[in-house]
Structure 1
Amino acid sequence: MRALVAAGLVLTVAACSSPEPGGNAPSKAPAPQGLKVEEVAAGFEHGWDIGFLKDGGMLVTERPARIKLVKNGQVTPVDIDLKDVQVRGEGGLMGLVVHPDGQRFTACYNTARDVRLVTFRLDGTKATKTKDLLTGMPSNPSGRHSGCRPTLAPDGTMYVATGDIAQGRNPQDRTNLGGKVLRIDPETGEGAKDNPFAGSTNANERRIFTYGHRNVQGVVFRPDSDQAFSSEHGPDVDDEVNLLKKGGNYGWDPSKGGTQGGYDEDVPMTDLQRFPDAVEAVWSSGSPTEAICQAAFWNGKLAITALKGSKLMLFTLDSAGKVQNVAIPEELNDKYGRLRAARTAPDGSLYLTTSNGNNDKLLRLTGDV
């Protein structure tokens, strides 16, 4: 049954379970009932991330180097200089995080030379660059495996999910920022003082929190816990949800210890033969992959969007972070196409973006899950 609500299009559909994902996924769970999906705004092109402002507005990044301000149902382009953004393939303007002061935000994007984090100050609908927070993250000219999403942690540090740019040596090279989860000071871009390799003489290594990743799409922090989770693209198998452990190696090594000159995607996502101490995923998709994207905690569940899978996945976790079951809300299962961004709003609702490339939408989810 569908109901139309004047404030926006809201679907209230009796939901059913979707087939269980493959791999080491746990049992499927009944999909939540009464989930409401509101179309807040439309007309975006590859909406990539969402940032919430103190006045109730939202910033939405678009991969083709645009930022839109959404407030009171109105969508206004932000006046910002993004001429140095290189938009190609998977690359362009990507993640964004709003700083606690509500005036600054840091965005991540490809240039002709690198992937970088840049901080801007917002005044109304105009944004002015204040600093290059972190430069030198590797970039593939094709844009492949660019990452890149910043998120502020409860302790005030900034975590940055990066891709390996499809270069085989990057994930295991701790002097290279590709294929990592970084943890940095949001004011200086330097590694946090208590990072696992804080004593290194190499500045890049000091920034690393975890390594051995392929193409991390997001990091999220579990409320009232010290747990952080990442969502990561696999090759043709094994998208992964990982519980991040300080200094952990997550086992992706398409260079086979530097013996392979290209990018061998037939290696395991977590290669326990080469790295017996590698951290195993708490969930993997098996085959086929879903192309999971950003993660957010919502009503106690770990909510993760899927691009290829065109769905939202709701993971129930135990206290140790182990996945107990996965539910697929029917209201979003292949109804809006590719889903990318996922951010929990201050009011507790969940905001998503579609990423189909034409008339993409900003969606708001409410209801018990």
Structure 2
Amino acid sequence: MLKSIMYFKSKLILVFFHKISDMKLIQLMVIMFTMSFTLVSCAQQKEQGPILHTPLENSFDLQPVVEGLNIPWGMAFLPDGSLLVTEKEGNLIHVKNNSKTIIKGVPEVYLRGQGGLLDIALHPNYKDNGWIYLTYALADGQGSGGNTALMRAKIDNNTLVSHELLYKATPNTTKGVHFGSRITFDNDGYLYFSIGDRGDHDLNPQDLSRDGGKIYRLHDDGQIPVDNPFFNTSDAKKAVYSYGHRNPQGMIKHPETGAIWTHEHGPKGGDEINIIKKGKNYGWPIITYGINYSGTPITDVTEMEGMEQPLYYWVPSIAPSGMAFVTSSVYPQWKGSLLVGSLSFQYLERLEIKDNKVVSREKLLVDIGRVRNVVQGPDGYIYVAIEGTGIVKLVPKK
């Protein structure tokens, strides 16, 4: 009986297709394919906000600052205008007067996948105390592999000295993804740093007792502030300031409000810009605007009570890394803009933001290479770190 019904249905379908023209048949097949694809990737959202605009020509020239770097990760300017640069493979480089000096005494890093020597930042009172802060992948501690660590040290005679390990995430894992990590200070001198979910999104981001998928807040000496949101929460990691993050690789203090802004990698789609708020849950992986790399849904939920919405999200993913606000008069038309590097599409994006909404987007340095970081130097110029190239300075054309 079942075979008869299936045979009857197949005959009807054949008759139906026979009655329509070849062109209509093709159109019908396209519609059916589109419907099936939509059902599979129902959680994938459309691109949000304004369309990315590419100017007809650059309004600036590129001036090489440091050449021959493989993966330049962090940048920090010293008071004399010289530059400290981290390379993921484990080098800390001092650049002064077009000369490169390798700083000795850098701790051994756990070099695997995205892990290695990561970000660098100066203490707000560096002139007085000389402290330099580094995040890196470290193999010390429980379990095989490594995890993200934060340390501080000083430079003496081109050597790192007075090492102090301030935080080490646990447990170690051999997974080579999602270490984070960026460092910044707020107006009150608190230190913030990020650690990604370490490729274990089902456990780490939503569990306050576990490291990973978090933004952390410390005193400058590594002590945990007693007013941290989970300081008195049983079993919680007391250094945690916010949670539910995937892999934040951009962090900066807003120049006017003093708020801490981050961006983080989504999966396939769903990269986010967030304003970090004390104790808040940013949702990953319970809510997301992205899907799995295979095209299957992670979740159909993009909003949930008690979870923060991003200020902005990208679909498709640009793989954001590094971020800087433009505050100088060197680029008068860019003043107030946010700059974000793109690893996957290999450009620098400029976003104009009004009332915490992105109102325009501009694509700069098209096909320049994987943009790993961007900072505004003390001279007001923008410096961009590009993998396989080095660091370039954006000089406006006259």
For the superposition of Structure 1 and Structure 2, which TM-score range results when normalised by the shorter chain? 0.7 to 0.9
Counterpart CA distance in 2 for 1:303 and 1:253 is 26
Match of 2:73 among 23, 48, 51: 48
CA 362–33 in structure 1, closer or farther in 2 if over 3 Å, else same: closer
| Correspondence for 1:119 | 152
What is the CA-CA distance between 1:253 and the residue it aligns to?
2.4
Counterpart CA distance in 2 for 1:315 and 1:218 is 14
1:206-355 correspondence runs (5 A): 206-253=238-285, 266-268=297-299, 271-272=302-303, 275-287=304-316, 289-298=317-326, 299-318=335-354, 320-329=355-364, 332-335=365-368, 337-355=369-387
Name the SS for the 1:300 alignment partner: coil
CA 169–279 in structure 1, closer or farther in 2 if over 3 Å, else same: same
| Correspondence for 1:149 | 182
Counterpart CA distance in 1 for 2:305 and 2:47 is 20
Q: Sequence identity, in percent?
A: 29
CA 72–137 in structure 1, closer or farther in 2 if over 3 Å, else same: farther
Counterpart CA distance in 1 for 2:349 and 2:300 is 21
Structure 2 gaps of 5+ residues are: 1-44, 141-146, 289-294, 327-334
Counterpart CA distance in 2 for 1:291 and 1:277 is 26
Task: Confirm or deny: 8 A CA contact 2:286 2:301 kept in the other structure.
Answer: no
Deviations 1:24-55 (A, max 9, x none): 13244564852232111111121000011112
Q: Does 1:63 align with 2:91?
A: no
Matched residue count:
328
Task: Confirm or deny: 8 A CA contact 1:48 1:95 kept in the other structure.
Answer: yes
Counterpart residue type for residue 233 of structure 1: H
CA 199–314 in structure 1, closer or farther in 2 if over 3 Å, else same: same
1:14-25 correspondence runs (5 A): 23-25=47-49
> Stretches of 4+ moved more than 6 A in 1?
none
| Correspondence for 1:259 | none
Task: Confirm or deny: 8 A CA contact 1:344 1:350 kept in the other structure.
Answer: yes
Counterpart residue type for residue 154 of structure 2: R
Counterpart CA distance in 1 for 2:209 and 2:296 is 22
Deviations 1:133-187 (A, max 9, x none): 1123554313211111111222211110210001121000112231111111121
| Correspondence for 1:91 | 115
| Correspondence for 2:13 | none
Counterpart residue type for residue 267 of structure 1: I
Q: Report the RMSD for the aligned CA atoms in angstroms.
A: 2.5
Counterpart CA distance in 2 for 1:22 and 1:295 is 23
Counterpart CA distance in 1 for 2:235 and 2:150 is 19
Counterpart residue type for residue 146 of structure 1: F
Counterpart CA distance in 2 for 1:321 and 1:122 is 39
Task: Confirm or deny: 8 A CA contact 1:146 1:215 kept in the other structure.
Answer: yes
Task: Confirm or deny: 8 A CA contact 1:116 1:137 kept in the other structure.
Answer: no
Q: Which has the higher contact order (CA 8 A, sep 6+)?
A: 1
Counterpart CA distance in 2 for 1:265 and 1:55 is 51
| Correspondence for 2:392 | 363
| Correspondence for 2:212 | 178
Counterpart CA distance in 1 for 2:175 and 2:148 is 12
User: TM-score with structure 1 length normalisation?
Assistant: 0.82
User: TM-score with structure 2 length normalisation?
Assistant: 0.76
Name the SS for the 1:107 alignment partner: strand
Task: Confirm or deny: 8 A CA contact 1:52 1:58 kept in the other structure.
Answer: yes
Counterpart CA distance in 1 for 2:287 and 2:350 is 34
Counterpart CA distance in 1 for 2:287 and 2:359 is 34
Structure 1 gaps of 5+ residues are: 1-20, 257-263
Counterpart CA distance in 2 for 1:173 and 1:351 is 37
| Correspondence for 1:4 | none
CA 106–191 in structure 1, closer or farther in 2 if over 3 Å, else same: same
Counterpart CA distance in 2 for 1:265 and 1:347 is 47
What is the CA-CA distance between 1:265 and the residue it aligns to?
8.1
Counterpart CA distance in 1 for 2:296 and 2:192 is 26
Q: Does 1:35 align with 2:60?
A: yes
Counterpart CA distance in 2 for 1:174 and 1:223 is 30
